[in-house]
Structure formats: structure tokens, C-alpha cells
Structure 1
């Protein structure tokens, strides 16, 4: 694969997680961000651990199909590894990441990768959707929506989540996270995130979910969402949780 000339957040995260599916341009960008903010690996390890716990909790309800938006690099504990008995369709908008994901998942009959813009559900290939999520619209699924809310304004995020609510079957689950105001104290790092990046206060998270109903765990710092041991001392850069589409 030809090396890209622009970094990707997905591949930067792979670097921070200790993966091997990234390029020098991604490592350089990751190191520049760390100079402006501080060590990122512990924060993203906890975010990936939250993904694993959330996906595992959804799978434990009997859901056996997941649709992932902003799928990133499908390794280092990503969805199909967290729920090995499930089928998974990863989607992203970055062509380099999509090709990388397709190469990693080549030969898998349980996980696939394709283009998909969360804000335009029609961009997902319907053949892939029905191949990896059989019974789409009739059987509950898990929707993974991590790392995206910070790059959508309130109106777009609310509309997108409402369209997903309408598209999935009753009893489906949504795993979601939100960026807190952590970067407000690091203006250089904040500038690197670009003008679309939106920090939000925890009190603003719940209204943006619309008709999706959070579980009793709530939307909390990801380290405190059903922790499996002592809560690590890392910045509360992300809050997250699971929400449900009602069966009524």
C-alpha cells in the first residue's frame, strides 16, 4: 500500500495502542499532538477498553451483528475481536483506512469493511449491509458510534442519531462517546483538532441522544463505565455509554 501524505486519526490511535498498521506521517502527527497535550496512549487505551466492555455488554444481550461508523483500524481489540461470535460491518470515510481495513479482514466471513458516512446512511453499500447484518431492520443490532460526535455540530448529530434510531430494529443498541472540555486547557492541542472539533460539557450529552434511552449506567467517564477493576487515573477526556432503541 502506498504511504499516505496526510495523517489519519484512526492510524494515530493505532500507534498509541501499540499496533502496527500506521505510517511515519501518523507517528509524526501523534508525537506533535503529544508535545502539545501530553501522553495520549493511556487515554486511548482506556477508550478502547470501554469499546470492548460496551460491545461485550451488547453481545451479552443476544445481539450478534454490529454496524461500526468511523471504524478506524480493525484490530487491537476492535469490535470483531471484542465480540468474536458476531458479524461486523466496519465503515469509514477515509479511503486509505478503508483499504487498510479490507486488507486486514481479507478472507473473514464474519467481518467486512466499506465506505459509510454516518451522516448519510444511504452511502453504505446495501449488499454489504445485508451480508454482515442479516435481518437488518428486523433484528436488533449494535451500532458503534465512537470518535464521531466531536466532529458534528449539535443539529447534525441529533439528526444523524435520529435517522439511525429510525433505521434499526427495536431493541437495538447504540455505543457512543463524547469529547469533554479537557482540551480547553491545551490551546495548541485544541488548534490541531481543527475548526470542526466540538467539546461539550457532560450536561449537554443526554439531550443530544434524542429518542435513544441510556442504560442505567448513564453517560459517564469511560473509565467508570462498568469498570472491571480499579479505575485508572487518566484524564476524563471522553464520556460514553450505551443507549437503547425502545421496543415499544
Structure 2
């Protein structure tokens, strides 16, 4: 795989998680961001741990097919590793990340990787969707929507989540996160996130979820969501939870 000349958030996160699927350009960008905001590695490990707990909770509900948006690098505790009995379709919009994901999953018959824009479900290859998320639209599925809300304005995010709600069968479950206002106190890091980045106060979360119904856990700092033991002492940069489309 040719070395890219631009960093990728997905590969920067892989670096912070201790993975091996990144390039010097990603490490340089990750180190530069750490210079503006230090606890990146701990925060992203906490977010990945939250993903694992959320996926296990969804699988424990009997869901055995997952659609993942903004999937990044499909390793280091990603969905198919947490729920090995499930089938998983990872999607992303970055072609380099997609090619990397396809290479990593080439020998898997339970997980695939393809293009998919969360704001337009129609961009997903129907053949891939029905192979890796069988019964799409007829059987409950798990939808993983992490790392995306911060890059969508309120109207687009609300529309996107509502379209997903319409598309999935009753009994489906959404894993979602939101960026808190943590970076407001770190203007250099905030500037590095770019103009599309949106922090939100907790009061904004529920209206954006629309008809999705959060569990009684609520949308809380990810380190505290069903924590297994004392929560990790990390800044509350991400808040997350799971929400359901009720079964009839």
C-alpha cells in the first residue's frame, strides 16, 4: 500500500490506540495535536472501550448484524472483534481507509468494508449491505455512528439519524456519541479540528436523536457508560450511549 502524503484521522486514532496501521504522516499529525491537547491516546482508548461495551450490549439483545459508519481502521477492538458471531459491514468515505480496511478483512467471511456516506444511505453497495447485514430493513440491526456527529450541522445530523430510523427494522439499536465542549478551553486544538467541527452541550443531544429512544443509561461521558469498575479518569470529551427503535 503506497504511503499517503496526507494524515488521516482514522490512522491517527489507530496510532493512539497502539495499532500498527498508520504512517509517519499520521504520527506527525497525532504528535502535533497532542502538543495542543495532550490526553488524546487515553480519550480514544476510552472511546474504543465504550464501543466494545455498547456492541456487546447490542449483541446481548440478540442483534447479530451491524452497520458501521465512519469505521476507520477495523481492528484494535472494533466491532467484529468484539462480536465475533455477528456479521459486520464497515463503511467510510475515505478511499485510502477503505482500501486498508478491505485488505485487513480480505480473509473474513463475516466482515466487509465499503464506501458509505452516513448522510446518504443510498451510497452503500446494496450487495454488500445484504451480504453483511442480512435482513436489512426486516430484522433488527446495530448501527454504529461514532465520531460523526461532531462534523455534521444540527439539521444534517437530525435528518441523517431520522433517515436511519426509517430505514432500520423495529428493535434496531443505535450506538452514538457527541463531542462535548471540552476543547473550548484549548483554542489551539479547536482550531486544528477545522471549521466543520461542532461541540455541543448535553441539552442538545436528545432533540437531535429524534425518535431514537435512549436507554435508561442516557447519553453520558463514555468512560462512565456501563463502566466495568471505576470509570477511567479521562476528560469528558465524548458523551455517548445507545438508543432504540422500539419493537411493536
* TM-score greater than 0.5 by the shorter chain: yes
Query: Deviation string for 1:138-161 (max 9, x for gaps)?
Result: 000000000000000000000000
Match of 1:194 in 2: 194
Query: Deviation string for 1:65-115 (max 9, x for gaps)?
Result: 000000000000000001110000000000000000000000100000000
Q: Report 1:1-248 matches (<5 A).
A: 1-248=1-248
SS of aligned partner of 1:171:
coil
TM-score by length of 2: 0.99
Deviation at 1:39, TM superposition (A): 2.6
Partners of 1:101 and 1:55 in 2: CA distance:
19
Partners of 1:142 and 1:232 in 2: CA distance:
26
Deviation at 1:15, TM superposition (A): 0.1
Deviation at 1:134, TM superposition (A): 1.0
Deviation at 1:229, TM superposition (A): 1.1
TM-score by length of 1: 0.99
Number of equivalenced pairs: 248
CA RMSD, aligned part only?
0.5
Structure 1: which 5+ residue stretches go unaligned?
none
Structure 2: which 5+ residue stretches go unaligned?
none
Partners of 1:206 and 1:159 in 2: CA distance:
14
Partners of 1:223 and 1:134 in 2: CA distance:
32
